[in-house]
Copies of this chain bind each other. A is one copy, B any other.
Amino acid sequence: MGQTIGVKEIEYLAIGAAVLGTGGGGDPYIGKLMAQKAIEECGPVTLLAPDEVPDDALVVPTAMMGAPTVFFEKIPNGDEALHSLRRLEEYLGKKAFAVMPMECGGLNSTIPFVVAARSGLPLVDADGMGRAFPELQMETFNVYGVSGTPMVITDERGNWCLVNTVDNHLLEYIARGITIRMGGVGHIAEYPMTGKEMKETSIHYTTTLAINIGKAIVHARERLENPLEGMGKALAESNYGEPLVLFEGKIIDVDRRTVEGFTRGTVTLEGLGTDAGSHFKVEFQNENLIAYRNDEVVATVPDLITFLDLETYKPITTEGLRYGYRTICIGIPTPPIMRTTEALEIWGPKYFGYDLPFIPVEELAKNVKRGRS
């Protein structure tokens, strides 16, 4: 049976998942503390490879839903997502065999470990986004035909709803309405599925990848390595492509607002080092969506666009972006399952309102001349 995840691995996971989270998926700090506390109290969590799950077993993704901005002020009590899982099990009349993350992100990669530790259930090393996305239908589970409902959403006061919808877009729309009325944050158990469905529709080994990326960043300094090298090695062992440096610069403006349950905005940078004289802009909706270098598109959703602190190489969420930060922005090519025509209909640039085609970041990178423009 799979590897064991303890307090140390959660430390790495929180960092690596925030890299894959492409600015979204919540604040890694709170999620990390919550998962570590749960593991300290209840013991380590077994991480299962997707193939270790029986085809007919019930697998349930759990997550935080809402605006990360609000999450900072409404810290959960830690039992909300487990409560959602339990109510969902009761409704289905079946016990979950394992839980899993819905997405990669500082918070939504760690929160499922709280549920796993407190319930004693194993966690599957896979998820439904391969990054973070702002909406519930943006999951490979939906792209490849799994129903998102029945789902349960619980808030920190104990209010909860069981939601059933005729399609997964309506699930997003109605559950988002509930989240807003819960004060901007809810905790969900959704897309209950069989082991077979999970194997066929999820992005595999993303927890392991996140842990390896986090480890590379944390230990780069003591190994006198460039953290991007270690990150590159971790990615080379995965379905993702190698990390590409999109820009090195200082943040000169952040325009961020909370709108209809989402954190939306734009961050603007001016170049440093080889990028001095150039400028750079990223538009985000919870997650970074489109990167422009000197007004030319250099990366588009669903490829990963992540800001790292220029000093520590730790990832910065869209929440954490501040005037004056010196950062390096990287692009990471996403796995083929996230770039199919069906998948791009659900989360390509057009869905987010951009009149842009998806072009793989590795293609776009070929046209970018970094250095003084």
Contact = CB atoms under 8 A, between A and B. Distances in A.
A177 interface: yes
Contacts of A170: 157, 159
Interface in A146-160: 157-160
A30 interface: no
Nearest to A173: B181
Contact of A178 (B157, B166, B178): B178
A78 to B, nearest CB: 18
A182 B173 CA distance: 9
Nearest to A164: B160
A177 B260 CA distance: 12
A159 B168 CA distance: 11
B174 A182 contact: yes
B164 A164 contact: no
A162 B161 contact: yes
A165 interface: yes
Contacts of A174: 159, 161, 178, 181-182
A166 B161 contact: no
Interface size class of A (residues with CB under 8 A): 10 to 19
A49 interface: no
Interface of chain A, helix or strand or loop or mixed? mixed
Contacts of A164: 159-161
A161 B186 CA distance: 15
Nearest to A154: B164
A321 interface: no
A176 interface: yes
Nearest to A162: B162
Nearest to A149: B159
A180 interface: yes
Interface string A123-157: 00000000000000000000000000000000001
B162 A157 contact: no
A57 interface: no
A174 B155 CA distance: 11
B163 A161 contact: yes
A170 B157 CA distance: 10
A56 to B, nearest CB: 24
Contact of A177 (B158, B166, B177): B177
A101 B173 CA distance: 30
The 10 closest A-B pairs by CB, nearest first: A177-B181, A162-B162, A177-B177, A159-B165, A174-B181, A161-B161, A158-B166, A161-B163, A160-B164, A173-B181
Given A161-B174, A177-B177, 9 more contacts: A157-B170, A159-B164, A159-B165, A159-B170, A159-B174, A174-B181, A176-B181, A178-B178, A178-B181
26 contacts: A157-B166, A157-B170, A158-B166, A159-B164, A159-B165, A159-B166, A159-B170, A159-B174, A160-B164, A161-B161, A161-B162, A161-B163, A161-B164, A161-B174, A161-B178, A162-B162, A173-B181, A174-B178, A174-B182, A176-B181, A177-B177, A177-B178, A177-B180, A177-B181, A178-B178, A178-B181
